[in-house]
Structure 1
Amino acid sequence: MNLNVPNTLRRMNASVVLNVIRQNSPLSRAQIAKLTGITKATVSEIVSDLLDEKIIYESGFSETGGLGRKGVLVNFDPDHGLGIGIDLGGTKITFSLFNLNAEILAQRQEPTYPVTTRIEFIDRFSASIQAFIEYHQVPREKLRVMGIATPGIVNHLSGVVLEGSPNLPEWDNIPLAAELSSRLNIRVILENDIRAALVGEMWRGKCRHVHSAALIGIGTGLGAALLVDGKIIRGVNNAAGEIGYMMFERSHLSQNWRNKGCFENYCSGSGLSGRIEELSGASMSAKEILQAAASREHLPNQVVEELADYLTIGIINIVNIANVEKIILTGGVAQSAALFLPRVQANLDRHLFANTRVFVELSELKEQAPLYGIAMLALDVVYPSIHFMPDTQIN
Structure 2
Amino acid sequence: MENVYIGVDLGGTNLRVGIVDQKGQLLKVKQIPTDAETGYESIIKRMIALIKDVKKAYSAVSVGIGSPGPLNPFDGIVVAPPNLPGWKDVPIASIVQEDLGIPVFLVNDADAAALGEAMFGSGRERSSSFYITVSTGIGGGYVQNNRLIQGEHGYSAEIGNMIIKPGGMRHANMNAGSLESLASGTSIAREGQARIGLSGGAEEVFQLAQEGNEEALRIIDEAIDALAIGIANLAHSVDPAVFILGGGVMQAKEMILPLIREKVDQYVYEGLRGKIKIEPAQLNDKAGIVGAAMHGRQKVEEQ
Same fold (TM over 0.5): yes
Residue 114 of structure 2 is matched in structure 1 by 198
**For residue 8 of structure 2, what is the aligned residue in structure 1?**
86
In structure 2, the CA distance between the partners of 1:302 and 1:327, relative to structure 1 (3 Å rule), is same
> Do 2:15 and 2:47's aligned partners in 1 also have CA atoms closer than 8 Å?
no
Q: Structure 2 residue aligned with 1:147, among 42, 55, 64?
A: 64
2:302 aligned with 1:380: no
RCO comparison, higher one (Cα < 8 Å, 6+): 2
Asked whether the equivalents of residues 18 and 289 of structure 2 are also in contact (C-alpha less than 8 Å), the reply is yes
What is the SS of the residue equivalent to 1:334? helix
Determine which structure has more spread, i.e. the larger CA radius of gyration. Answer: 1
* 1:316 Cα deviation after fit: 0.6
Are the counterparts in 1 of residues 171 and 180 from structure 2 also a CA contact under 8 Å? no
Answer yes or no: is 1:156 the counterpart of 2:70.
no
Partner Cα distance (1:288, 1:343) in 2: 19
Cα deviation for residue 171 of structure 1 reads 3.0
Distance change >3 Å, CA 202–CA 250, structure 1 → 2: closer
TM-score (norm: length of structure 2): 0.89
1:259 equivalent in alignment to 2:166: no
- On the 8 A contact 2:142/2:148 being kept in 1, the answer is yes
* Preserved CA contact (<8 Å) 2:20 2:293: yes
**Unaligned stretches of 5+ residues in structure 1:** 1-78, 386-395
* Pick aligned residue for 1:362 from 255, 263, 280: 280
2: CA distance between counterparts of 1:272 and 1:375?
32
Q: CA 1:111–1:292 in 2, change beyond 3 Å: closer, same or farther?
A: farther
Query: Which position in structure 2 is the counterpart of 1:289?
Result: 205
Provide the rounded CA distance (Å) in 1 between the counterparts of 2:225 and 2:130: 18
Q: Which runs of 5+ in 2 are unaligned?
A: none
Instruction: Please give the per-residue CA displacement for 1:26-59, whole angstroms capped at 9, x wherever unaligned.
Output: xxxxxxxxxxxxxxxxxxxxxxxxxxxxxxxxxx
CA contact (8 A) 1:91 1:111 kept: yes
- TM-score w.r.t. the length of structure 1 is 0.69
Could you say which residue in structure 2 is the equivalent of 1:111? 33
Question: Is the partner of 2:29 in helix, strand or coil?
Answer: strand
Question: Secondary structure at the residue paired with 1:174?
Answer: coil
In structure 1, C-alpha distance between the alignment counterparts of 2:73 and 2:300, rounded to whole Å: 14
Spell out the pairing of 1:221-370 with structure 2 (5 A cutoff): 221-228=137-144, 231-252=147-168, 257-261=171-175, 262-352=178-268, 353-355=270-272, 357-370=275-288
Q: How many percent of aligned residue pairs carry the same amino acid?
A: 29
Superposed displacement of residue 326, structure 1: 0.8
Q: Cα RMSD over matched residues? A: 2.3
**Counterparts in 2 of 1:342 and 1:154: CA distance versus 1, 3 Å:** same
How many residue pairs are counted as aligned between the two chains? 299
Secondary structure in 2 aligned to 1:284?
coil
* 8 Å Cα contact 1:149/1:192 also seen in 2: yes
SS of the equivalent of 1:115 reads: helix
Q: Which moved more, 1:264-273 or 1:226-235?
A: 226-235
CA contact 2:121–2:283 (8 Å) conserved in 1: yes
Matched-pair contact (CA < 8 Å) for 2:244–2:281: yes
**Per-residue deviation, 1:158:** 1.3
Superposed CA deviations along residues 316-362 of structure 1, whole A, max 9, x for unmatched, are 11101112221110111112122222111111233332246302110
SS class of match (2:218)? helix
Deviation at 1:102, TM superposition (A): 4.0
The answer to whether the 8 Å contact 1:228/1:322 transfers is no
How far off its partner does 1:313 sit? 0.6
Q: What is the CA–CA distance in structure 1 between the aligned matches of 2:46 and 2:212, rounded to whole Å?
A: 44
